[in-house]
């Protein structure tokens, strides 16, 4: 039996070996917490985006999607609170020169106390940490680290600097050199692009409250420490939706979105016990309800998506800072108001990791006669990067030509791969490892009666079907319809 650590390492190396995720700039020894998606990773990522977009925009008449710019007016980040408040407390070890998040060092200590059965000590330390974080007391964080004799994992010493606040936004200069240039930020979230376009979309789309605006796009955060592969990156993608509602109705909508979003995750048929809600007890000052949807990664339950009831905080702030009215006239109650907002915010890369961890299996296929195993990705067929592989049984007798015909029939609608190298068993295994739901083999009988063998990834069962029925069969297995229907 593999430990969770080993399992996670295997997921990471599988992702690299099969072209899903590569470290960025690898030939230059990589760039910390930045990753590139390879040929299969890009496909899987696109499919996750499509699934989200279709579930949000296509299935909801009152949700539309936008694509706002990464650069925005710098005042936006003042209004949103990011310039003053988007900070992590950091601390450096003077001997190793390594930088840590002070709160995470303490959290690691809590985890160690818990592991050692010192639950009282862990609870007391958690309470102290919460109090220090809530009051932004950096001196207290330092004294906690000293009291609990927390040492640097690298140097082993307790030679720490003071704790300082570190703003997570990346900034750069826009425009020509020197005087004329202005400091702008790379957006740390996509949501503000939605808020500042609220009126543009509402007016041009003639949207009536309640309605939502969805967006998928890059976000950048200069995370103090980045760990756990694509879990915490410095450049990542978010899929966010802001749902604008009449004040007073927000908690009803919040509960509805909480349910709808979990349903979206579970429709992919993961192990349901790996998902849970984590309700926030301590709320941000502007929120009146908040929950995380968490997934149990090999390193524990972690947030994949956040659902927040944000009141009218964001639009009101932009009203104040821009001096422009951001209100809605509600004809049903004959009133103007600043709408309240429910936000659903999911990290695309974190969702990608959730899917990989959930799909990856090292399956033991040994029988009494022989030892055997396979690595398989049990991806939902609609998300699989390659929908089907077409194999001629051999490279001669006209089988490749017939297989190409089958491929041409299917490739208009789906991403299909053609392979003729190696024994058929080996070809099956390669497709299992990248999650291809179906393999189609063209053999000598195909030339006689226009049928082929279909082999299913998960059950490994085979059946004979007519070539003319292939399109319909594929639609039923790998098409979007069955998945989207399960959301209705």
349 is in an annotated binding site: yes
The closest alpha carbon to 210, from 345, 73, 337, 364, belongs to 337
**DSSP 8-state code for residue 104:** H
Q: Does 304 bind ligand ATP (CB under 6 A)?
A: yes
The total of other beta-carbon atoms located within 10 Å of residue 39's CB is: 12
| Contact map string, positions 204 to 223, toward ligand ATP, x by CB under 6 A | -----------------x-x
Q: How far is the CB of 380 from ligand ATP (least distance, A)?
A: 19
Q: Does 343 bind ligand ATP (CB under 6 A)?
A: no
What is the C-alpha to C-alpha distance for residues 340 and 294, in angstroms, rounded to an integer? 25
Q: Is 392:420 a contact under the CB 8 Å cutoff?
A: yes
Stretch that binds ligand ATP, among 51-59, 71-79, 153-161, 346-354 (CB under 6 A): 346-354
- Chain position whose Cβ is nearest to ligand ATP: 347
Stretch that binds ligand ATP, among 10-18, 136-144, 277-285, 302-310 (CB under 6 A): 302-310
Q: Does 193 bind ligand ATP (CB under 6 A)?
A: no
What is the C-alpha to C-alpha distance for residues 182 and 159, in angstroms, rounded to an integer? 39
Q: Does 107 bind ligand ATP (CB under 6 A)?
A: no
β-sheet bridge partners, residue 375? 362
Q: Does 238 bind ligand ATP (CB under 6 A)?
A: yes
CA distances from 166 to 71, 92, 188 (A): 21, 12, 14
| Contact map string, positions 79 to 98, toward ligand ATP, x by CB under 6 A | --------------------
238 is in an annotated binding site: yes
Judged by CB, which is closer to ligand ATP: 169, or 433? 169
Distance, CA of 385 to chain centre: 16
Assigned token pair, 20: 């899903």
Measured between alpha carbons, how far apart are the two ends of the chain, in Å?
39
Assigned token pair, 21: 């995720």
What is the C-alpha to C-alpha distance for residues 423 and 441, in angstroms, rounded to an integer? 12
Q: Does 23 bind ligand ATP (CB under 6 A)?
A: no
Q: Does 41 bind ligand ATP (CB under 6 A)?
A: no
Judged by CB, which is closer to ligand ATP: 14, or 232? 232
Stretch that binds ligand ATP, among 59-67, 171-179, 200-208, 297-305 (CB under 6 A): 297-305
Among 236, 254, 275, 297, binds ligand ATP (CB under 6 A): 236
Binders of ligand ATP among residues 150 to 189 (CB under 6 A) are: 189
Among 23, 339, 347, 392, binds ligand ATP (CB under 6 A): 347
Stretch that binds ligand ATP, among 116-124, 265-273, 301-309, 329-337 (CB under 6 A): 301-309
Q: How far is the CB of 111 from ligand ATP (least distance, A)?
A: 16
Judged by CB, which is closer to ligand ATP: 43, or 292? 292
Judged by CB, which is closer to ligand ATP: 281, or 333? 281
Q: Does 195 bind ligand ATP (CB under 6 A)?
A: no
The closest alpha carbon to 225, from 92, 86, 99, 95, belongs to 99
Size of the site for ligand ATP (CB under 6 A): 16
Spell out the residues 6+ positions from residue 439 whose beta carbon is closer than 8 angstroms to its own: 388, 389, 390, 391, 427, 428, 431, 454, 455, 457
Q: How far is the CB of 128 from ligand ATP (least distance, A)?
A: 20
Stretch that binds ligand ATP, among 108-116, 197-205, 340-348, 369-377 (CB under 6 A): 340-348
CA atoms within 13 A on the CB side of 33: 15
Please tell me whether residue 459 adopts helix, strand or coil conformation. Answer: coil
236 is in an annotated binding site: yes
Antiparallel, parallel or unpaired: β 438-442 and 416-418? unpaired
Please tell me whether residue 377 adopts helix, strand or coil conformation. Answer: strand
The closest alpha carbon to 487, from 342, 341, 380, belongs to 380
The total of other beta-carbon atoms located within 10 Å of residue 153's CB is: 12
32 is in an annotated binding site: no
Q: Is 328:244 a contact under the CB 8 Å cutoff?
A: yes
CA dihedral 422, 424, 425, 426 (to 10 degrees): 30
Which residues does the annotation place in the binding site for ATP? 221-223, 303-304, 347-350
Residues that bind ligand ATP (CB under 6 A): 189, 221, 223, 232-233, 236, 238, 303-306, 345-347, 349-350
Which residues does the annotation place in the binding site? 101, 189, 221-223, 236-240, 303-304, 343-350
Which residues does the annotation place in the binding site for substrate? 101, 189, 236-240, 343-347
């Amino acid at each position: 039996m593999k430990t969770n650590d080993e399992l996670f390492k295997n997921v990471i190396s599988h992702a690299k070996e099969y072209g899903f995720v590569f470290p960025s700039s690898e030939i230059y020894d990589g760039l910390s917490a930045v990753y590139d998606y390879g040929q299969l990773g890009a496909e899987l990522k696109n499919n996750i985006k499509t699934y989200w977009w279709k579930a949000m925009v296509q299935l909801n008449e009152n949700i539309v999607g936008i694509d706002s710019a990464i650069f925005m007016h710098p005042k936006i980040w003042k209004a949103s609170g990011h310039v003053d408040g988007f900070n992590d407390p950091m601390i450096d070890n003077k001997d190793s020169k390594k930088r840590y998040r002070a709160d995470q060092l303490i959290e690691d200590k809590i985890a160690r106390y818990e592991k050692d059965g010192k639950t009282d000590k862990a609870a007391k330390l958690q309470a102290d940490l919460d109090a220090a974080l809530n009051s932004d007391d950096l001196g207290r964080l330092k004294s906690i680290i000293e009291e609990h004799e927390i040492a640097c994992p690298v140097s082993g010493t307790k030679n720490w600097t003071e704790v300082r606040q570190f703003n997570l936004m990346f900034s750069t200069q826009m425009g020509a050199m020197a005087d004329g240039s202005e400091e702008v930020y790379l957006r740390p979230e996509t949501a503000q692009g939605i808020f500042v376009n609220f009126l543009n979309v509402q007016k041009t789309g003639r949207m009536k409250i309640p309605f939502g605006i969805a967006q998928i796009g890059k976000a950048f955060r200069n995370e103090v420490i980045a760990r756990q592969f694509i879990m915490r990156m410095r450049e990542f993608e978010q899929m966010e939706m802001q749902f604008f509602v009449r004040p007073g109705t927000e908690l009803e909508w919040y509960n509805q979105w909480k349910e709808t979003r979990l349903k979206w995750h579970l429709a992919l048929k993961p192990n349901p016990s790996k998902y849970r809600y984590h309700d926030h007890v301590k709320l941000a000052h502007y929120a009146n309800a908040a929950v995380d949807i968490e997934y149990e990664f090999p390193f524990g339950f972690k947030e994949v998506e956040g659902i927040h009831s944000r009141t009218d905080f964001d639009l009101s702030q932009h009203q104040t800072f821009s001096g422009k009215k951001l209100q809605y006239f509600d004809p049903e109650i004959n009133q103007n108001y600043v709408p309240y907002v429910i936000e659903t915010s999911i990290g695309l890369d974190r969702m990608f990791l959730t899917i990989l961890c959930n799909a990856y299996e090292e399956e033991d296929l040994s029988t009494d006669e022989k030892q055997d195993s396979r690595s398989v990705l049990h991806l939902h067929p609609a998300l699989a990067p390659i929908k089907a592989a077409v194999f001629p049984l051999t490279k001669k007798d006209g089988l490749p030509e017939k297989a190409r015909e089958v491929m041409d029939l299917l490739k208009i609608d789906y991403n299909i791969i053609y392979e003729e190298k190696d024994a058929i068993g080996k070809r099956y295994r390669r497709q299992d490892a990248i999650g291809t739901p179906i393999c189609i083999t063209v053999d000598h009988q195909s030339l006689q009666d226009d049928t082929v063998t279909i082999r299913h990834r998960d059950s490994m069962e085979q059946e004979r079907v007519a070539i003319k029925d292939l399109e319909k069969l594929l639609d039923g297995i790998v098409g979007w319809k069955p998945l989207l229907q399960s959301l209705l």
